[in-house]
Every structure is written in structure tokens, then in C-alpha cells.
Structure 1
Amino acid sequence: MAEKENNAATAEKNGKDLLKASNPLRLVITVVLVLVALIWGGSKIYHSFLYVETDNAQIEGDIYPVISRVPGRVQQVLCSDNQKVAKGDTLVLLDPADYEVRRDMAEAALDNARASVSAAGEAALAAAAIGQKLSADLRRSENLRRQDVISPSEFDAVKAGALTSSAQHAAAESQHRAAAAQLKMREAELRNAGLQLSYTTITAPADGHVSKKNVQPGQYVAPGQQLIALVGSKKLWVVANFKETQLENIRPGQPVSIKVDAYPGKEFEGEVESISSGTGARFALLPPDNASGNFVKVAQRVPVRILFTGKPDNEHKLAAGMNVVVEIRVK
């Protein structure tokens, strides 16, 4: 019994000693945690004075529509999704047979027009030569008539011939001008036929990557139909939609830190290029009209265009539409 009481007393004493020893440790841990929280909170507050941040931002790029300018049946598709192409590369071939026939017909019509111009020119020259001869005969006849060498009827005949020749020459010149105009029209028709034929070869309008390919061999396409969307590869930028209350200190030229959701831990360098002159809501399909009905004030978003300024990073491929987080250093 006495031994049990001694054990209980010893355990109570050990507990009190442990409690006394743990109180300073608990205090130290509490102080450390408070200091960490103060440092972290202070750094966040200090950071908020130097930077403005938003995660409402995406990478943008030029998207070129590849369209058909003429109707026709697709003969070949020479590209695939996500393929990198250069400006001028052939992407789609349409069946050129109909357009080759039209070009040949235009060439034949042009040859006929040239022959007509040549014939009309020769006729005009002949009429001019005859007119010159008859004009000279008329001048001589006038002298002879004044000398009463020829009769009035003979003079009238020469005069009538000269007038007729002049009218014929004028008609020949008019026909020649009409043939020349017809020749210009046929030349234009041939150029148009050549253009229509060239449009059967559809090429890349810029360097980029093939995306959203919507064309297959055998398909019939119409003018203006988009066949491929080509995402430009030369230049990408970021559009960050900041709240209007964040714009006070944002200026073009300020440095930007860009974090892409696809690459955690990786930061890209950027620079503010410009600030939009209108909010995103103002360019919506149905812009708000605060003058009618009940009014609820909503913080508007203003697009800010940011350019990438760092060296190209081939290991971290960027694509239009990626979500990013941007921080602009404003102070």
C-alpha cells in the first residue's frame, strides 16, 4: 500500500515537472508562429503596395482564317492539325478543271479580239489613205473649177467622193476604237480567269500552326467558307482584365510577372503595352444600360494588353487561350 502511494506521488511530481518544462516550449512555439504570421502578413501587405494582380487573364494570338475564294471540289488537303506551316505553303487544292477551261476560253476570246483590232486598224489605215487621195483630188478640182476647166457636175462628183471617204474613215476609226476597247475587256477577262484559277490553290496567309481543320478531300466548298484556322506563331501577348479600381497606378511600360497555369513555378517576363479605352462589358453583345430599370453597381473589368519581353523559351510552349496570372509592378 505504501509502495502504491509512493508511485502515485512520483507520477504526480513527474507530471508537474513536465508541465513546467512544456510551458516555455509552448510559449516559444507560439511566439514563433506569431512572428511568422506577422512577417507573412507584412510581406503580403507590402507586396500589395508594389503590385496589382489578377488571374482573369489569358494568352492571345493572331488567328488567321483560311478561306476559299472560289467554289469547287476539294482535290487534296496538304496539312494536318497542329502542323507548323510557313507563309505561302500550300494547304488545300481545289479541282482546277473548270477554271482551266474558263482560262482557255478567255485566251481564245483574247486572240479573236486582237485579230479584230488588227483588221480594224488596217481598215482605218486604208480609209485614211483613200481619204488623203480624195482630199488631194478635191483640192485640184477646186483649182480646175475656178479656171472653168471642169464642169460643175465633175466637181460635185469629186467633192461627194471626198466627203464619202471622210465618213468611211471616221467609221473605220470608230470601229478600231471599239475593237481596242473590246481587246482591253478580253485582257481583263483573261486576268480574271487566271486569278480564279490561282484561287484553287489555297495557301497559308502567315506563319503559324494549323488548328480547327474543317476540310476533307471530295468536299465541295463555297466562297467565303472557312476551312482552317491558322494560329500565328510569331507573336503572343496577354490580355489581363483588371478591375477598374486597380487601374489607378497602371501605366504602359511597367514590368509584369506572368505565371502560366500550365507551368507551375515558371515565371515569364512581360511589359504593359496599352490599356483599353473601353470596358469589356461595353463591347458585349448586349451592353448594360444603366439608365433604365433598377441599377446595381458592378465593378467593371478593363482589358490591359501585356507583351512578353523575355527570351523565347522553347521548353515551355505557350498557346493562345491559356490561363495566366499576372502581377504588374506599379511602384
Structure 2
Amino acid sequence: MATTTQTHEEVPTAVAEPLEEPKKRNPLVFIILAIVLLAGGYYGWTRLQFAKAHESTDDASVEGDVYPILPRVSGPVLKVFVNDNQVVKKGDTLVTIDKSDYQQRVNAAEAALVAAQAQVTAARAGVGTAQANVRTAQTTIGVSSANRARLQQDLARSTKLRKDDIIPQSDYDAVQANLKATTAQQSTAQDQVTVARQQVVAAQQQIAVAQAVVKQRQSDLDNAKLQLSYTTLLAPANGIVSKKSVQPGQVVSPGQQLIGLVSSGKTWVIANFKETQLEEMKVGQKAKLEVDAYPSEDFEGHIESLSAATGARFALLPPDNASGNFVKVTQRVPVKIVLDKEDPQHPLRAGMSVNAIVAVK
């Protein structure tokens, strides 16, 4: 019997490695994530609530009064008393224009006024002369009337005497002739009174004409003095000199801007809100102003007024939607916001950019 030898191969025994346990997540991460989500949600919620109660725009700028200094008469400039960015007060002299020509006009007007006043005096003297002529003529009428009455009596006596042939015919004729002459003198005196009275009326009219001439000459004198006063340009208000474009010796003409005087008084903000933002906007509502020049400062104000028209209506060429193709564009309405309190440490200058936020609720 054959013997079978069975060979057993040695099988290496695999060593079982231990399983890795899953890493535990740090709970701090979840806490931080939750805090971030809550903070983000709270921030978003507050911004949403803020947006519902406020309207804002960055289309806003500071505005102020700017006075253009314009000459009203022409002539060479004698002296300029101010420099750029100089602070001036109301009534300060800014520029003077040569006044020689205008002084001559004043002198001529004064002489013409004196001549006109002399004409009034002469016209009044003429009235006195005419009135004296009236009195003289009236006296002549009185004398003629008395003589005529006497001669009528003489004629009556002479008629009786002539009938009785007591006086000659020549005496009777002489009395008749004297009566006729006296009657003619009386008629002439009456005509002289009429003429003299007409002369009085004419002389009085000459006084009225002379007085009218005096008024005209006085008006000319006042106008000449007014033109003379225009040779001195004064500051119309307190402010700061800006955009000075005048030098001594320069010949200026009326209406030519020489200086821009920026008022140093009150300033305000014009904010151009969209028309869709005006539903709940009213006069008196509080506003916060963020000025680009002072990023760390906030200015408080309130709405003073809302414009009656959009800014486009005041453009050089306002839109006319009926004349062609219509494209709807959201319009903006200027809103005037004034500061509740001026901050001298942070002055607002005209033209500064502003972000305006209005609390509408």
C-alpha cells in the first residue's frame, strides 16, 4: 500500500488592524456658524426694517447763495479791493470804476436844474406883471365909467341949454364928442382887462411848464447821481470772494460778471429723490446727511420743501413725450433739506457731495 505524504503549506496568518474611530466635530464651529447666521439674519432684518422706514439718495449736493457782482455802468476799473477767497462783510467796497465821465454828467445836470428853477422864477414874475396889468385895466374902466357918467349928465344939461339956445352948438358938440371918447375908452379898458386876464392864465401855464422842466431836470440829476453811485461796487451780503476775474485798468461793461460772492451764511442741501420714493415724504421729516468731505461726521436736518416739478422740467430742452417715441424714465424731484444746526468746525461749501437719508416713518 502506497503511503501518500500530504504536504501542508504554511499559510501566513494576516494580522487584523484596528478600525479608526470617526473624528468628532468641534462644537465650537457650530456655535460660531450659528452666531454668524444669526448675526447676518439680524443685520439683514434690521436693514430691511431701516429700508422700509427710510428713503435715501446719493444724488444730492450742498447749495448756497452765490451773488454775482455785475457792473451797471461801463468804464475802466480803478481799483480792486479784494482777493480770491477773502471774507467780506455786507457793504464793503469790492471794485471802483473811473467816475470822471459820470461826475461831469452830474455837474451838467445840476446846471440845467438851476436854469430850470430860474425859469420858474421868471414865469412867476410874469404872472405878477399880468395881474398888475389886469388891475391897471380895471382902474381905467373905473375912471372911464366915472367920466362917462359925468359926461352923460353934462350932455343932458347941454341938451336943455341948446334947446333954449343958451349955449352954442359947438359946446354941445364938444360934450357929445367927449362922451363918445369916454365910452370908447371904457370899452378899450374892458378889452384890456380880458387880454390881461388871458395873460395871467398864460403866465400861470408858463409856471406849470417851467415846474415840469424843473422836475425833468431834477430827474436827470438824480439819474446822473445814480449812475455815479454805480461806479462803486459794494458787497451785497456777508460772504467769501470767489471766481474773481477783474483787474485794475480793465474796461468793463454792464452785465459782465467780475466776482462771484459765495454767501457765508445759511447753506442747505438739494437731494434729488426718485419719484417712486416720494409717496410718504413730507415737509418737516427728519433727515441725516452724510457729507463726503467729512466721512466721520453726520449732520442732522429736516425737509423744508419739495419742488413743484421734476428737475427735467427745468432743463434747457425739457422732454416732450408727445413728439416722438416714448421711453419711460424714472424722474427725480429736488427736495430741499436744511440743517438743524450749523457746525462751524465742519463748514459745508456749495457743491459738496452728500448722501441724504430721510426718515419717512
Shared fold, TM over 0.5: yes
Deviation at 1:218, TM superposition (A): 0.8
Aligned-partner SS, 1:241: strand
Is 1:175 aligned to residue 206 of structure 2? yes
Give the structure with higher Rg (CA).
Answer: 2
Counterparts of residues 44-123 of structure 1 (less than 5 Å): 44-123=47-126
Is 1:223 aligned to residue 281 of structure 2? no
Counterparts of residues 215-294 of structure 1 (less than 5 Å): 215-294=246-325
Question: Per-residue CA shift, 1:141-195, capped at 9, x if unaligned?
Answer: 2454355464233324433433443343333223222222111111111111111
**Quick one: distance in 1 between partners of 2:130 and 2:256?**
56
Aligned-partner SS, 1:161: helix
Gapped runs of 5+ residues in structure 1? 1-8
**Quick one: distance in 1 between partners of 2:201 and 2:303?**
72
For this pair of structures, how many residues does the alignment match?
Answer: 316
Question: Per-residue CA shift, 1:75-114, capped at 9, x if unaligned?
Answer: 1111122222222111110101111111111111111112
**Quick one: distance in 2 between partners of 1:186 and 1:153?**
49
Aligned to 1:3: none
Aligned to 2:347: 317
**Quick one: distance in 2 between partners of 1:251 and 1:166?**
77
Letter in 2 for 1:102: R
Residue 93 of structure 2 contacts residue 234 of structure 2 at CA under 8 Å; is this kept in 1?
yes
Letter in 2 for 1:242: F
What is the aligned-residue identity percentage?
47
Aligned to 2:232: 201
Question: Per-residue CA shift, 1:277-297, capped at 9, x if unaligned?
Answer: 211112212222223433222
Residue 305 of structure 2 contacts residue 336 of structure 2 at CA under 8 Å; is this kept in 1?
yes
Q: TM-score, length-normalised on structure 1?
A: 0.88
**Quick one: distance in 2 between partners of 1:279 and 1:113?**
58
Question: Per-residue CA shift, 1:223-278, capped at 9, x if unaligned?
Answer: 12222122222211111111111111111111111111000010111011111121
- Bigger shift: residues 242-251 or 26-35: 26-35
Residue 140 of structure 2 contacts residue 186 of structure 2 at CA under 8 Å; is this kept in 1?
no
**Quick one: distance in 2 between partners of 1:58 and 1:315?**
19
Gapped runs of 5+ residues in structure 2? 1-16, 153-178
Aligned to 2:337: 306
Question: Per-residue CA shift, 1:1-20, capped at 9, x if unaligned?
Answer: xxxxxxxx9xxx8xx89x64
**Quick one: distance in 2 between partners of 1:277 and 1:209?**
31
**Quick one: distance in 1 between partners of 2:197 and 2:82?**
67
Over aligned residues, Cα RMSD in angstroms? 2.2
**Quick one: distance in 2 between partners of 1:94 and 1:28?**
80
**Quick one: distance in 2 between partners of 1:68 and 1:140?**
72
Aligned to 1:5: none
Aligned to 1:328: 358
* Structure 1 runs of 4+ with >6 Å offset: none
Counterparts of residues 124-203 of structure 1 (less than 5 Å): 124-148=127-151, 150=179, 151=181, 152-203=183-234
